[in-house]
Each structure stands twice: as structure tokens, then as C-alpha cells.
Amino acid sequence: MAEILSPLRNVKEDSMYTASTALIEALYDAGVSFIFANLGSDHPAIVESLAEAGATGRPAPSLVTCPNEMVALSAAHGFAQATGRAQAVLVHVECGTQALAGAVHNAAKGRIPVLIFAGASPFTQEGEMRGSRNEFIQWIQDVFDQRGILRGYVKYDNEIRTGRNIKQMVYRAMQFAHSDPKGPVYLMAAREVLEEEIASAEAHHENSPPIAPCAISALDVEAIVADLLKARSPLVVTSYLGRNPQAVDELVRFCRRLAVGALESVPNYVNFPTDDPLYQGNQWNEPVQNRALDEADLVLVIDSDVPWIPAVNKPRKGAVIYQIDVDPLKEQMPLWRIPARRVFRADAGAALRQLNERLGAAEINKETVEARRAHYSRLSEARRQKLLRAERLEGDVITPEYLTACVRERIDQDTIVLNEGITNYQTIIDHLGATRAGQMFTSGGGSLGWNGGAAIGVKLACPDKTVVCLTGDGSYMFSVPSSVHWIARRYQTPFLQVIYNNRGWKAPKLSTLAIHPDGYASRGEDIGVSFEPPPDYSGIAAAAGGAFARIVRRPEELNSALTDALNVVRQERRCAVLDVWLAHL
């Protein structure tokens, strides 16, 4: 008869090879450098394996203690944006899974590869196996469908039932996470499984590579190129092509060769150098028809979730639309349609390379191209002048345009900016003027509070870069700054956070006014969006993580505050939070 083990008795203290040891090895082999963890009663075997790895020198990912799960997942999100590599997030059973909160929406919508791992309540209660229930909470935390909590948001979920195939399961989950369209995956395992002693597990990560990038057929390349050569005003619209820096190079080559305009719509990445004369700006919620989109007779929509908002802004009737996307059906969106002539599931970089190669042998009408280049250059120069004018301060209130311009003047090419500016998303992109892929990210989702955790992840991924978060005051509060700044000090991930403080939530106010411009709310003094009296935002970071803290109310205080804050970040390796007061929303 099998020996009945007490859950409290540690049978063999030394050199146990358990399912958890295999799990840690598998994560390490699959490229996980960090486990962003929030621990619980489900994790003794994992904690033990990591401690053993530390004591014996066995290679293992580093554990980053995260007092809040949403921050943990946001950190893994930022790390993946900077590197393309999925990291692990370790959470506690069903309630830790719940506490991932909106971060899992952001990872899903932003197509971010990440492996989320949770324990599960033990499935034995009489001490039948090592790991059996021994704490009251294990009855309370047992639910019928723990995986169901995340099912609408992950690409793959499974329960590991034995340590014997745990490596295979991790590699399969990682293969899903890293295959386009990328996204979060979820694995869970009960305590008894994680404690299971096994013979050391053999499985090879290299045998589970992500799906190779898809191209389009030669015939289709031919058809697109034929239409392109006929077009009068071709335009590319994109949002997240820039997650692959090589795709940006291909897009630049493509646009320059034919003088195709590049319009960003709700950009999550730097998709095109904003100083290029072919760059036609970025569009968000503004209720106006975009001129370049209206003039285009051929629109190539490449990697975009919301290329335009058709009720107010769309291509002209009769424009030929081609769509190239890793997720052209928008499989997670119940409602989606653009009137495309042809739709391709393909990797943007691969497809653009094909188009570029074909164009290399094409007969291109130089006059048409030069006329178009001149036209787009004129529009781009007018845009540049308008932006410059907007940066001028008139009065003694700091404007978001002026603030962003001041930040731009103080950062270098080796800075990564995380933009959670909400009603200032566009202003930030316009006045930051990024020119290289990877210089700026937004979350790609709609659940606020990504920026602080993401900054930790980006800094862990790129220790030599300066990391700057530009955030709304509401988004700062959503980001759980107490957790963020504690982690940042503990793990030495200094970054600058600049709060665009308009004393509340401007976005819901604008949403209301857009539908009820003359209603009661438009005249209301207090419609529930104001943060008066405002908290001491930077003081929260100082208390939680010893951050440099300063409130900036007047324009003349701004430049020295930015200089001091960046010095602290770069030299003292400490976070800095500037609470910059803008006009009241």
C-alpha cells in the first residue's frame, strides 16, 4: 500500500526532484528570466524548488515579489513589449487569478505573450498525499471552474495533472503565447501535483517553436502591387505593426519607394518615424474626417484594430482597401468590419518584404511618385508647424503640449516612453516625436493602470535604457502606485513617472459631452469625475519606495524639476514622480 504522507511532514528534505523543479527548469529553458509572483498556500513546492535552486546554484528565473497581481502582470506585459519574450506571472489560486484584474484584458487585447500560472486548492483532504489540505482557506478557495475566470482572455488554458508531462505542458503553453496573434496563456496545478516527486523530466523547448511568420502568396503580391502602381493616393493605416522593429524598416522602405502616406490609428507602438515627410499623424477619438484618409484611393490597413471610426471618419467611397493582419478577423471582437477588397492573415514584416521585393522589379512612374511625395510633404510640414505653435505657452498654466515638449527635450534616443496619457495619448505621441521603433508603447488595451507595472518590466528587460511613464492622474491611481514603487525600489528598477494632472477623469466627461453636449451634465458643477481635493501623488511613491517627489504647478518650475528628476533616476537609481498640474479638466 502506498505510504500516506502527512501534508505537514517533509519527507525527504534534500535533493527532491519534484514537478515544481521541472516547472522551474521548463520556464528557464523557455526563456523566462523573471517570475512576477504573488504567493499563497498553493505554492510551497515552487517556493521550495526556487530556494533549492538558489542554494545549489541550479539556474532558475528570478522571483520578483509583487504585492499586487495586476502590477505583476503589467510588469510581464512591459517586459514582453520590450523584448518579445513571455515571462511568467505566478498567482494564488482563484482569488489571485481574479486579482489580475484588467491587466489580463490588456495582455489579451494587446496580444502580449505571457504565461500565467496559478496553484489550485489541494484535491485531497485526509493527508492522502504530500500537499493535502491543511489550511481552512483551501476549502473556501476551491471553485468549480478556476480556469473559467480567464477563459475569455487567454489563448490557451489547461490544468497540469502530473509532474511527468509538466515540461511538455509549459512548452505547449509557451508555443501558444508566442505564436501570432500572441497572447496570454494560463496553467494551473493543485498542490499535490506540484509536490509530486518525479524522475527528472526530459522535454525540449526547441521542439515547440512558435508558428513561423506567415507570408502572402506570390499571386496576391502581384495583385496588390498592380493596384498600388495604378493608385493616385495610396495610404497605409497601422496601429501595432511596430511591435516588430523589422516591420517598421520594411514599412519605411515601402512607403518611401512609392511615396505612400503612413497614418497611425490608435498606435500602440512606434510604427513609422514621426519626422518623416510621409508621416500623416495619428488619429484617436477626434470626431473629424481625416484628410489623408479621405483623399486615399487605395488604403492598406496593416495590423490595426481600429483603423478609423466609421461614424465620423473613413476612406472615401470606392477606395480600394486591402487588409493585412496577424488577426484579420479580429476573433476576439464581436463586432468588426471594414469594407476590404482582400484580406490576408500574414505577418506585416514578411508581407511588406514581399511587396518591397516585387517593387524592386516594377516599373514605377517617377512623376506620379514625386508629385505624391510633394503633396504628403506639404501636409506633413503644415502638421509640424501646427504642433510647434501648440507648444508655445500662453499664460501661466502648463499645457500637455508644453509638458510633452519639455520631456522630449530632456530624453535621448535610449529612452523608452510608456504612454498612458488617455485624453493626452495623441498629444504625447505628437509632441514626443519618436523616430525609432521601440521608443514608445501604450498598453494596447483599455484597462487603466498598466504604466507603473509596465515600467518595472521594461526596466528589468532593458537596464541600460531610461524609462519614462507619461500618465494621467486617474491612470496613476489605477496603477497601484504603492505596490509599483515598493517593487521598483526593492528590485532597483528606477524610472521617471510624469503625471498629467488635470485633477480627475477627463475622458468620461468628454464621452458624456460627445453624446449630451447641452444636457444637464454639460452644466453640472460636479458630475463625478473630479479628484478635488487631489491626493499627493508623488508623496505616495515617496512613502512606498523612497521616490523623488515633486509637485510642479507653474511653467517656470518645470524644466528644473525634469532635470532634477532625471538626475535622480539616472544617477541615484531611484524612481522620480513629478506631479504636473495642468488646467482643471
Ligand X SMILES: Cc1ncc(C[n+]2csc(CCOP(=O)(O)OP(=O)(O)O)c2C)c(N)n1
**Residues engaged in binding Mg ion (CB under 5 A):** 472-474, 502
CA dihedral of 283, 291, 216, 440, whole degrees rounded to 10: -30
CA dihedral of 57, 62, 67, 68, whole degrees rounded to 10: -150
66 binds, among Mg ion, ligand X, none (CB under 5 to 8 A by kind): none
State which residue, 277 or 445, has the beta carbon closest to ligand X: 445
Residue 571: DSSP 8-state: I
Q: Which of 507, 542, 568, 575 binds ligand X (CB under 6 A)?
A: 507
Query: What is the CB neighbour count within 10 angstroms for residue 331?
Result: 8
Q: How far is the CB of 102 from ligand X (least distance, A)?
A: 4
State which residue, 43 or 431, has the beta carbon closest to ligand X: 431
Cell of 240: 501595432
314 binds, among ligand X, Mg ion, none (CB under 5 to 8 A by kind): none
Residue 151: DSSP 8-state: T
Contacting range for ligand X; rule: CB under 6 A; set: 74-82, 330-338, 471-479, 488-496: 471-479
State which residue, 181 or 508, has the beta carbon closest to Mg ion: 508
Longest Cα–Cα distance of the chain, Å, equals 88
Cell of 56: 545549489
Contacting range for ligand X; rule: CB under 6 A; set: 20-28, 161-169, 290-298, 419-427: 419-427
**CA R_g for the chain:** 26
* Block residue for cell numbers 478609423: 308
Residue 27 lies near ligand X (rule: CB under 6 A):
no
What gap in Å lies between CA 342 and CA 330, rounded to an integer? 15
Residues that bind ligand X (rule: CB under 6 A) add up to a total of 18
Q: How far is the CB of 273 from Mg ion (least distance, A)?
A: 29
Q: Which of 96, 102, 307, 481 binds ligand X (CB under 6 A)?
A: 102
Q: Which of 303, 145, 132 is nearest to 213 (CA)?
A: 303
What gap in Å lies between CA 243 and CA 221, rounded to an integer? 23
* Block residue for cell numbers 511591435: 243
Residue 400 lies near ligand X (rule: CB under 6 A):
no
At 576, the amino acid letter reads A
423 binds, among ligand X, Mg ion, none (CB under 5 to 8 A by kind): ligand X
Residue whose C-beta lies closest to ligand X: 472
State which residue, 28 or 450, has the beta carbon closest to ligand X: 450
34 binds, among ligand X, Mg ion, none (CB under 5 to 8 A by kind): none
Residue 74 lies near ligand X (rule: CB under 6 A):
no
Q: Which of 17, 46, 22 is nearest to 197 (CA)?
A: 17
Contact set for ligand X, span 108-127 (CB under 6 A): none
Q: How far is the CB of 420 from Mg ion (least distance, A)?
A: 11
Q: How far is the CB of 583 from ligand X (least distance, A)?
A: 11
448 binds, among Mg ion, ligand X, none (CB under 5 to 8 A by kind): ligand X
Spell out a b/e string for 537-563, using b for 16 or more CB atoms within 10 Å of the CB, else e: bbebbbebbebbbbbbeebebbeebbe
Q: Which residues here bind ligand X, judged by CB under 6 A?
A: 102, 422-424, 446-448, 472-475, 478, 502, 505-508, 585
